[in-house]
Amino acid sequence: MNIFIIKWDYNNNNFLRVAKKIESDGHQIAYWVGASQEDAVPSNRRIFPQTVFHNIFEAHFGKPALEFKDTDFAPPGEKIIKNLFEAESILSTLKQFEKLKISVFEKKNLYHNYLQYWLGVIEKLKPDLIIFAISPHTGFDFVLFSIAKLLGIKTIMFDYTGIADRHLLINDYTEGSRRLKKELENNKNKNFLLDNLSRDIREYYDGQINQTQDPITRDFKALKNQYSGLNLLAVKVKIIAKSASDLSIFKKIYFYLLKFFGDNIKKEHARVQQRPDFNKKFIYVALHYQPECATSPLGGIFVDQILMIKILSQALPDDWLLYVKEHPVQWLSQGLNYTDFRYPGFYKAITAIKKVILVPQETPAVELINKSQAVATVTGTAGREAVLRQKPALIFGYASYRDCVGVFKVSDVTSCQEVLQKIDSGFFINQGDVLNYLASLDKTSIHTYFEKATEVISGLSPEEHVDNLASAILAEIEQNKNVA
């Protein structure tokens, strides 16, 4: 089987060992997009002599791998571009692609270059399977995934559950885990107890129920630490030093003072926010940090969170409100700046929607969940926290916990109204059903890691990490072989 590996660090010895185990099972690593340090590539080529290695940043900017730098692949035609219209739409809001400081038409040309290159590489190397680390969400990787899906090429990726170092192996972020769905079906009439769960899942559940779990996930906690305390001071010192050296410091001071004394994102929020009245019935709407994978691509059209709020507002029972809260780390990296995702008038537009109140950022998320009738989010952890506390969750995207009881996928006013009528009529989440879900997750999830924040909290030895990851992939390959 010809295999592509996308966005695994090929300077990481553990991932090299996983790839070697895959090859030892009779497969060929034909293409590998990995880390940026090119000095590691020659030694890797000795280990994998038939593998094309591609620098991840060169791939992002549409530059070819060394082996294909003089290859003249055919440009895409109208049919393929039309078939991938949805992919092009999502691409414009992806985390790294959105940040490129180039014009709209330069981005469109880059997208066409992605299509030309990856269609050509696929035609040349004919992969049977493409393995991504996590859901593709930066640019070229998402285009490659979309092409693979269109052409019927198998894909594997790993969906982080938010619990310890547990991931679900999935084939497509829009489908979720097939194994988990099957296990839930097998367990639907069983009655698992808390003691039946593994320690890490039990501790997570206890933390949510007893409200001792930190509401900020570890990856966002790392982001928060990056822009606070001594780390923030270091960032500012670097900016000041660079600005002094290129003589832009006076210009930056001028624009900073304009923002500080003039209008800025925090002042806009402060003007329109209101304290919530917990005596009223309400849905708690937890906004996402953006740009991030959780809303693009996982949110689909609901990368526009205002669209989600409008649908909720239109579907609300007459005596209900929406309490919307900004993500706790949204302003950290941008300071007083507006962005494409939090533009001038963003918060004003939210509060102009009927029945919507924007609550202060310091309003405790725990209180908003506990006193709400339901929680709404695109894919955020607030939805998972809600169902663990036996509160219904409305999700608008492809959340990792979508298969849990009490989680309702909605997409428009009609589906939203149906769910809210069910909740208003007394819908109740049985704790036993939640434990059954956690027991199913326990059995089907994999202890592994791809990002530093998860590696830090994982209790795995390098050998266990390698074995778990390789075994999961090889088992999936074998299962697909048997199905075929």
402 and 349 in a common domain: yes
Final residue belonging to a domain, choices 439, 454, 473: 439
Q: In sequence order, which residues have a C-beta less than 8 Å from that of residue 380 and are 6 or more positions away?
A: 286, 288, 294, 399
Q: What pTM did the predictor assign?
A: 0.90
Q: What is the pLDDT of residue 216?
A: 56
pLDDT number for residue 259: 64
pLDDT value at position 212?
Answer: 58
Residue 364: the pLDDT is 94
Asked if 314 and 258 sit in the same domain, the reply is no
| Pair 19, 5: CB distance under 8 Å | yes
Pair 143, 291 in one domain: no
pLDDT tens readout for residues 110-159: 999 999 999 999 999 999 999 999 999 999 999 999 999 999 999 999 99
The answer to the question of residue 385 being in a domain is yes
What CA–CA distances, in Å, run from 147 to 102, 154, 173, 251? 24, 11, 15, 45
Under 8 Å between Cβ of 368 and 359:
yes
Residue 241 belongs to domain spanning = 227-262
Beta strands in 278-409 (DSSP E): 281-286, 320-325, 356-358, 374-377, 393-395, 407-409
Q: Hunting for tokens 């909290």 — which residue is that?
A: 457
Query: For residue 130, is it within any domain?
Result: yes
What's the pLDDT tens digit per position in 310-337?
999 999 999 999 999 999 888 887 677 8
The total number of structural domains that make up the chain: 3
Same domain, 232 and 257: yes
User: Phi and psi (nearest 5°) for 166?
Assistant: -85, 130
464/480 Cα distance (integer angstroms): 24
Whether 435 and 466 share a structural domain: no
pLDDT score at 245:
73
**Same domain as 146, residue 295:** no
> Residue 471: its pLDDT value, please?
97
CATH number at residue 142: 3.40.50
For residue 193, tell me if it sits in a domain: no
Residue ranges in the chain modelled with pLDDT below 50: none
Contact 383, 283 (CB under 8 A): no
- 355 shares its domain with 416: yes
| pLDDT, position 11 | 87
> Same domain for 358 and 456?
no
Mean pLDDT of the chain: 90
What pLDDT shows up at residue 337? 80
Sign of the C-alpha dihedral computed for residues 206, 212, 216 and 217 taken in this order: negative
Structure tokens at 46: 């000795």
Tell me, yes or no, whether 76 lies in a domain. yes
Among the listed residues 152, 116, 118, the one whose alpha carbon sits nearest the alpha carbon of residue 31? 118
Secondary element (H or E) of residue 481: helix 462-483
Q: Are residues 316 and 176 in the same domain?
A: no
Same-domain pairing of 152 and 6 = yes
Distance from the Cα of residue 378 to its chain's centroid: 11
405 plus 464 within the same structural domain: no
* CATH code of residue 343: 3.40.50.2000
Residue 220 lies in a domain: no
191 is a domain residue: no
In a domain, 471, yes or no: yes
Please name which of 164, 166, 167 lies closest in space to residue 213, comparing C-alpha atoms.
164
pLDDT at 38: 60
Tokens 């606070």, located at residue: 228
Is 197 within the bounds of a domain? no
Q: How far apart are CA 178 and CA 105, in angstroms?
A: 39
Closest by CA to 455, choosing from 222, 282, 288, is 222
| Per-residue confidence (pLDDT) for residue 217, from 0 to 100 | 57
Same domain as 397, residue 474: no
**pLDDT tens digits, residue range 63-80?**
999 999 999 999 999 999
